[in-house]
């Protein structure tokens, strides 16, 4: 597997789960770090049992389309893989590089995509994408619309819809002592994510300004709209009830989510962006925290019947969903239980690993055949 995403420690739990399945001898190539949005994400080593984690220097680190691994060929020579899982979008140079090396060694190939907008790329990226779509044996799409985009672009191979990573239910779980300590603080609403316009926090502020009774809102995150959101809270007269917090380390997220009565993801699609998954939703659901999400991108598919959704951009409807949860303890309890049950069925790291393993088996069994 070639994956820059797997430098994130918690994501490596999926690798351990994969490596433990019958017949899997797993080698994962990662860079020592990845630059993104002005910050450097360093490689963590948290879950590294049962497989080989190989660190390879990356050229043009931080360039999403252009990055590649100058010395990765030696790993193909050493491992001689039967299958190469390229954990990258089909229009990235690293994907094409790994695909060609895998073909040289007779390995079957599959790639991963989150892209749920049918974007057309200029040369040479459209050429890279075309060759990958024409030659890969299989694909994994992180959401329903990404699979549809692949078909619209002419991909004819098999596509499995599987999120890239799940959650560890032994970490993201109900914490009774935390809930007991915060139960007297009124109705607690939360948001966690990038503070950008498309995440819809401005809509959430407008919605909570219409609520009655004892409530509070905690907004966790950083981003370019932070100052404007603070000013909007003041303009709406809700500043005393709204707390803006800096991003929380992953290890502290389960406690934060357990402090809430509801987690809200009010995303709004833009011409160049649509919600691809909404990982914080499954983290909250695993903690038995009810969720409310807009009907944007993959959000309603993630929530299913285990939470509440509202029409994208509709402040009145969001306010109604929040008011309903505020006043109906029974509904909150029911959604809490359904949320964790849905995560255990679909979104644990073990479940994601098992579904990925099935794709590996079917690809290697030649059930889908070689594409050329």
| Domains of the chain, residue spans | 5-166+348-364, 176-345
Short-list 333, 340, 162, CA closest to 254: 340
Q: For the ranges 178-192, 246-260, 279-293, which has the lowest average pLDDT?
A: 178-192
User: Residue 372 has what pLDDT?
Assistant: 41
176-345: CATH homologous superfamily? Glycogen Phosphorylase B; (3.40.50.2000)
* Average pLDDT score, the chain: 95
Specify the pLDDT at position 147: 97
* Nearest in space to 280 (alpha carbons), one of 300, 259, 261, 257: 257
Task: For the chain, give the percent of residues with pLDDT over 70.
Answer: 98
- Answer whether 352's CB lies under 8 Å from 163's CB: yes
Question: Are 4 and 41 a contacting pair, CB within 8 Å?
Answer: no
176-345 matches 5-166+348-364 in CATH topology: yes
* Mean pLDDT, residues 311-340: 97
State the pTM of this model: 0.92
Q: pLDDT (tens digit, 9 = 90+) per residue, 89-146?
A: 999 999 999 999 999 999 999 999 999 999 999 999 999 999 999 999 999 999 999 9
DSSP for 251-308, written as a single string: GGHHHHHHT-SEEEE----BTTB-----HHHHHHHHTT--EEEES-TTHHHHHTTSSE
- CATH assignment of 5-166+348-364, given 3.40.50.1220, 3.40.50.2000, 3.20.20.20, 1.10.150.120? 3.40.50.2000
3-state secondary structure of 233: helix
pLDDT of 323 > 90? The answer is: yes
User: For the residues 287-291, what does the mean pLDDT come to?
Assistant: 98
Tell me how many degrees the CA angle 246-166-120 measures, rounded to the nearest 5: 85
> pLDDT at residue 185 above 60?
yes
Question: pLDDT by residue (tens digit) across 20-76?
Answer: 999 999 999 999 999 997 889 999 999 999 999 999 999 999 999 999 999 999 999
Burial class (CB in 10 A: 0-12, 13-18, 19+), 211: middle
What is the tens place of the pLDDT at every residue in 199-246?
A: 999 999 999 999 999 999 999 999 999 999 999 999 999 999 999 999
């Amino acid at each position: 597997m070639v994956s820059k995403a797997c430098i994130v420690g918690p994501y490596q739990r999926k690798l351990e789960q994969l490596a433990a399945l019958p017949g899997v001898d797993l080698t994962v190539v990662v860079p020592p770090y990845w630059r993104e949005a002005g910050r450097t994400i360093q490689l963590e080593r948290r879950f590294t049992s049962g497989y080989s984690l190989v660190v390879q220097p990356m050229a043009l680190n931080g360039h999403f389309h252009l990055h590649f691994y100058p010395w990765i060929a030696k790993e193909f020579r050493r491992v001689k893989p039967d299958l190469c899982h390229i954990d990258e979008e089909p229009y990235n140079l690293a994907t094409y590089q790994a695909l060609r090396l895998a073909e040289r060694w007779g390995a079957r190939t599959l790639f991963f995509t989150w892209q749920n907008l049918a974007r057309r790329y200029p040369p040479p990226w459209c050429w890279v994408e075309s060759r990958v779509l024409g030659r890969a044996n299989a694909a994994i799409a992180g959401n329903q619309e990404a699979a549809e985009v692949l078909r619209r672009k002419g991909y004819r191979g098999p596509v499995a819809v599987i999120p890239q990573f799940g959650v560890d239910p032994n970490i993201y779980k109900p914490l009774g002592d935390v809930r007991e300590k915060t139960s007297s603080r009124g109705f607690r609403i939360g948001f966690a994510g990038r503070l950008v316009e498309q995440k819809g926090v401005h809509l959430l502020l407008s919605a909570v300004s219409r609520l009655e009774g004892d409530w509070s809102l905690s907004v966790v995150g950083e981003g370019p709209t932070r100052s404007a959101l603070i000013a909007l809270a003041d303009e709406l007269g809700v500043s005393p009830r709204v707390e803006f917090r800096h991003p929380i380390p992953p290890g502290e997220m389960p406690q934060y989510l357990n402090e809430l009565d509801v987690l809200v993801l009010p995303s709004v699609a833009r011409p160049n962006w649509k919600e691809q998954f909404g990982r914080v939703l499954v983290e909250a659901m695993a903690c038995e925290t009810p969720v409310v999400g807009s009907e944007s991108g993959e959000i309603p598919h993630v929530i299913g019947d285990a939470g509440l959704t509202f029409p994208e951009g509709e402040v009145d409807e969001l306010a109604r969903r929040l008011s309903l949860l505020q006043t109906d303890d029974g509904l909150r309890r029911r959604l809490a239980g359904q949320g964790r049950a849905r995560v255990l069925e679909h979104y644990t790291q073990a479940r994601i690993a098992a579904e990925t393993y099935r794709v590996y088996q079917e690809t290697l069994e030649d059930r889908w055949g070689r594409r050329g």
